């Protein structure tokens, strides 16, 4: 045991600083110290009446009416680590190891990398970690609070008394640590932080907590290293060429997908056995979870996170979430996580003003506040914030086997003037509105996640024309794998909301998107954002009577699944509800058995099957080789037609956006011979009027619209046809 020679004058000053919570290293006062050939042991025990070292001939004295006790003993009389036996003022006896006889636990390398913004797995040493030190079981607590004069760990193990366990600061790193022996897994804790300049005390939840109490409680929870045995080896043995494989995403808010009859949430494990079969039945390849990082406010849907390493306790413990992801993989379903690195809420117990200063956020209000959401924005210029966020990203990918991250609100990160008036923002060093620190962070995030987890994808929710969002960082791009195509989504919904009689005036809404469709790797989303806040459900957006609304919805989904780009649908679309989504209640599952909804579910299932099984519909989602217009000019009849192609194979897609049946409608095709109707969205089995072409249609060898052959078709009202050249096997 290394000890430090200390002189009495310094001890007197330091003792007062420890008592006043102004000491950066209480180990200079507490614990073991060499003094004139003896061992001096000093302990801090509030509410203590008397104390001794268990098994040693020692006698402690109280110093100056304080809670500090000290004794001198011979070196041969003491073994380290030692236990204190003490009696409180109520006469109760306690036996515990002295936390101040243990050496520092965090390596200098970890400290340095965290401060330099280069630590990508900071959860491995920051937060609360159960471990054995010198044969003693306990928990290592650590946190980053560079502007604190003292930090204490408080919890149910010390009556939430900040005097009991002051931590030591590891030099200029700003990281405070304390190994607390006898502390156990499941203990509740926070950090009590005293600001250096104001002297105010703040009690904060652990930013690196891997488990937290169920809201409205806010304490962090000590959790053991997971020993969950994953069963998804087969999933990781598959070739995952995401650019050329089908990706069809079912977006889910776990808190409202389905509830128990008494309105309790389903657990992660219950969801594994109810949600996964539903998704398999519909044919989706992936599930995307709205944020399940811990958050205090249900109505934020998880987008205002306070726990960037803790799965929300609403649905169970961390291993329960691992079980859910594992079951998805065993069912051959990928899992994506909605992740929010742009901002965080102002709740007093969390990241805001963490050490009494703007630590995770900017100090300047023109950079700190997010005026649209009433939240605080991360300071991406601070190296430690980058270590924090990138560690969070890798944590979910590595520790929970998520297959990718959908990064929320990227536009709000990229632009300094996002949702701000002219006087509310601060230009960058070059006078522009680009947030250069956020750009650097996003590039670093994407480079590291793709390097460390090469099978993973990152998806940007980015609504502007920022260039090269999905291009590699080495060519100046942001490095995302894919991006939501918000322009296509808005144009398509605006078009489909028009009464069919007026659609010919808006034909460019269907055709304009192809001008930029391959500028990025796009996902085509109909997300939760489009069915809330008075926007109405997808069904209610559609014009006409009930039959026409359902036909329009079937046509809209058929268009989405045949257009270039990966696919995303928000939960409940398959139920064709007239009520917009409400996070406070379950989806209306009573609709699921109605004939029209059964037909819609069958259509979604069949669209997914075609999309996944036919390479022309997915292989070149991001390449111009995969698409060719047949006719984009028939505005007068509101009809578009195109080919989807891959490696010499093709399918023909024709969409009629009016309720008029079109007889003998000609479309050009590449080859003669029979064509099979793979899907007709107006089929009776989907709830349609069953207008079609009888399954097989002969293409005639006569050129039309620049193609050598043509088909003469009957187009169903508000319907989509998908056809393929038919060859007898």
pLDDT reported for residue 8: 39
Tokens of 345: 């809420």
Active site residues: 408, 461
pLDDT tens digit sequence for 16-48: 899 989 999 999 999 999 887 788 999 999 999
329, 401 contact by CB (below 8 A):
yes
Positive or negative, the Cα torsion across 98, 154, 386, 305? positive
Instruction: State how far Cα 21 lies from the chain centre.
Output: 37
For residue 59, the model assigns a pLDDT of 85
Banded model confidence at residue 267, pLDDT cuts 50, 70, 90: very high
Segment 584-638, tens digit of pLDDT: 999 999 999 999 999 999 999 999 999 999 999 999 999 999 999 999 999 999 9
Contact 354, 207 (CB under 8 A): yes
Q: What percent of the chain shows pLDDT beyond 90?
A: 89
Which of 36-40, 161-165, 186-190 has the least mean pLDDT? 36-40
Q: Return the pLDDT at 729.
A: 53
Give the pLDDT mean for 312-334.
Answer: 97
Distance CA 229, CA 330 (A): 13
Residue 7 pLDDT > 50, yes or no? Answer: no
Looking at residue 728, its pLDDT comes to 63
The residue that leads in pLDDT, 582 or 727, is 582
Whole-number pLDDT of residue 79: 86
If you write DSSP's letter for every residue of 601-655 in order, what string do you get? Answer: HHHHHHHHHHHHH-GGGTTTTTSGGGEEEEES--GGGTEEEEEEEETTEEEEEEE
DSSP per-residue codes, 181-202: ET--TT-EEEEEEEETTT--EE
* CA dist., res. 141 & res. 133, Å (int): 13
- What does the pLDDT look like over 238-254, one tens digit per residue? 877 899 999 999 999 99
* Strands in 45-90 per DSSP E: 48-53, 61-62, 68-73, 83-88
- pLDDT tens for 471-522 read 999 999 999 999 999 999 999 999 999 999 999 999 999 999 999 999 999 9
Q: Which pLDDT band, with edges at 50, 70 and 90, does 3 fall under? A: very low
Provide mean pLDDT across the span 1-7.
Answer: 43
Q: Which helix (H) or strand (E) segment is 343 a member of?
A: strand 343-344
Q: Calculate mean pLDDT across residues 113-130.
A: 97
For residues 540 and 92, what is the distance between their CA atoms, to the nearest angstrom?
A: 68
Mean pLDDT of the chain: 94
Query: Which burial class, exposed, middle or buried, applies to 200 when counting CB atoms under 10 A from its CB (0-12, 13-18, 19+)?
Result: exposed
**What pLDDT score does 569 carry?**
98
Dihedral, CA atoms, 294, 297, 302, 306, nearest 10 degrees? -40
pLDDT single digits (tens) 654-680: 999 999 999 999 999 999 999 999 999
CA distance 210 to 312: 10
567 closest CA partner among 647, 646, 459, 442: 459
Residue ranges of domains in the chain, CATH in brackets:
8-101 (2.60.40.10), 108-221 (2.60.40.10), 245-484 (3.20.20.80)
- Which residue do the tokens 């036909």 mark? 551
pLDDT, residue 77, reads: 80
Report whether pLDDT(348) > 50: yes
Q: What is the average pLDDT across 553-575? A: 98
Residue 533 burial (CB count, 10 A): 9
Least confident of 65-79, 221-235, 490-504: 65-79
Residues 419-457: tens digit of each pLDDT: 999 888 999 999 999 999 999 999 999 999 999 999 999
The pLDDT tens digits of the residues spanning 638-649 come to: 999 999 999 889
Give residue-wise pLDDT tens across range 359-402: 999 999 999 998 889 999 999 999 999 999 999 999 999 999 99
């Amino acid at each position: 045991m290394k000890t430090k020679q200390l002189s009495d004058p310094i001890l007197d000053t330091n003792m007062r600083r420890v008592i006043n919570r102004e000491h950066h290293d209480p180990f200079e006062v507490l614990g073991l110290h060499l003094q004139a050939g003896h061992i001096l042991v000093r302990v801090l025990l509030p509410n203590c009446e008397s104390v001794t070292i268990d098994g040693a001939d020692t006698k402690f004295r109280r110093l100056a009416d304080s809670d500090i006790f000290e004794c001198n003993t011979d070196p041969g009389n003491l073994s380290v680590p030692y236990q204190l036996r003490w009696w409180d003022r109520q006469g109760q006896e306690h036996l515990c190891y002295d936390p101040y006889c243990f050496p520092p636990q965090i390596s200098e390398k970890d400290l340095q990398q965290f401060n330099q913004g280069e630590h990508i797995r900071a959860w491995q040493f920051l937060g609360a970690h159960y471990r054995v030190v010198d044969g003693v079981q306990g928990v290592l607590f650590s946190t980053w609070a560079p502007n604190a004069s003292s930090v204490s760990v408080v919890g149910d193990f010390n009556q939430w008394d900040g005097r009991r366990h002051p931590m030591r600061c590891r030099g200029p790193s700003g990281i405070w640590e304390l190994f607390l022996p006898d502390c156990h897994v499941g203990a509740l804790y926070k950090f009590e932080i005293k600001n250096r300049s104001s002297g105010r005390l703040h009690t904060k939840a652990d930013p690196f907590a891997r488990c937290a109490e169920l809201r409205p409680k806010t304490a962090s929870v000590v959790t053991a290293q997971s020993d969950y045995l994953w069963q998804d080896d087969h999933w990781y043995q598959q070739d995952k060429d995401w650019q050329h494989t089908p990706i069809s995403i079912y977006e889910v808010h776990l808190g409202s997908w389905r509830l128990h009859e008494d309105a309790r949430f389903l657990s992660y494990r219950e969801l594994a056995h109810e949600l996964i079969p539903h998704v398999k039945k519909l044919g989706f390849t992936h599930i995307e979870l709205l944020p399940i990082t811990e958050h205090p406010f249900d109505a934020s849907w998880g987008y205002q996170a306070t726990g960037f390493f803790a799965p929300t306790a609403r649905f169970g413990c961390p291993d329960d979430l691992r079980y859910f992801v594992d079951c998805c993989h065993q069912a051959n379903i990928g899992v994506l996580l909605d992740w929010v690195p742009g901002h965080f809420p102002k709740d007093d117990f969390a990241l805001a003003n963490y050490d009494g200063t703007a630590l995770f956020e900017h100090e300047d209000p023109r950079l700190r506040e997010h005026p649209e959401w009433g939240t605080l924005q991360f300071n991406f210029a601070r190296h430690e914030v980058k270590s924090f966020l990138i560690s969070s990203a890798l944590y979910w990918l590595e520790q929970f086997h998520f297959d990718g991250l959908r990064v929320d609100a990227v536009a709000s990160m990229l632009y300094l003037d996002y949702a701000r008036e002219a006087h509310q923002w601060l230009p960058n060093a070059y006078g522009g509105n680009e947030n250069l620190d956020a750009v650097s962070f996003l590039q670093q995030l994407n480079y590291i996640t793709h390097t460390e987890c090469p099978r993973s994808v990152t998806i940007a929710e980015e609504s502007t024309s920022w260039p090269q969002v999905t291009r590699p960082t080495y060519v100046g791009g942001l490095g995302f794998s894919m991006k939501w195509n918000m322009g296509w989504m808005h144009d398509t919904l605006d078009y489909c909301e028009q009464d069919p009689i007026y659609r010919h005036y808006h034909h460019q809404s269907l055709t304009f998107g192809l001008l930029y469709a391959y500028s990025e790797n796009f996902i085509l989303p109909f997300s939760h954002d489009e069915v809330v806040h008075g926007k109405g459900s997808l069904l209610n957006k559609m014009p006409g009577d009930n039959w026409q609304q359902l036909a329009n919805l079937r046509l809209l989904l058929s268009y989405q699944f045949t257009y270039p780009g990966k696919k995303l649908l928000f939960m409940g679309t398959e139920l064709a509800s007239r009520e917009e989504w409400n996070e406070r209640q379950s989806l209306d599952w009573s609709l699921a058995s109605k004939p029209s909804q059964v037909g819609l579910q069958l259509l979604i299932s069949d669209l997914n099957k075609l999309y996944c099984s036919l390479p022309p519909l997915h292989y070149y989602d991001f390449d111009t080789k995969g698409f060719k217009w047949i006719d984009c000019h028939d505005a007068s009849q509101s009809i578009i037609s195109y080919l989807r192609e891959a490696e010499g194979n093709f399918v023909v897609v024709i969409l009629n956006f009016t309720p008029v049946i079109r007889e003998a409608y000609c479309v050009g095709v590449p080859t003669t011979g029979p064509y099979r109707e793979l899907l007709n969205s107006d089929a009776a089995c989907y709830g349609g009027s069953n207008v079609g072409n009888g399954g097989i249609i002969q293409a005639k060898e006569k050129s039309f619209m620049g193609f050598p052959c043509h088909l003469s078709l009957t187009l169903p009202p508000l319907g989509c046809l998908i056809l393929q050249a038919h060859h007898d096997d």
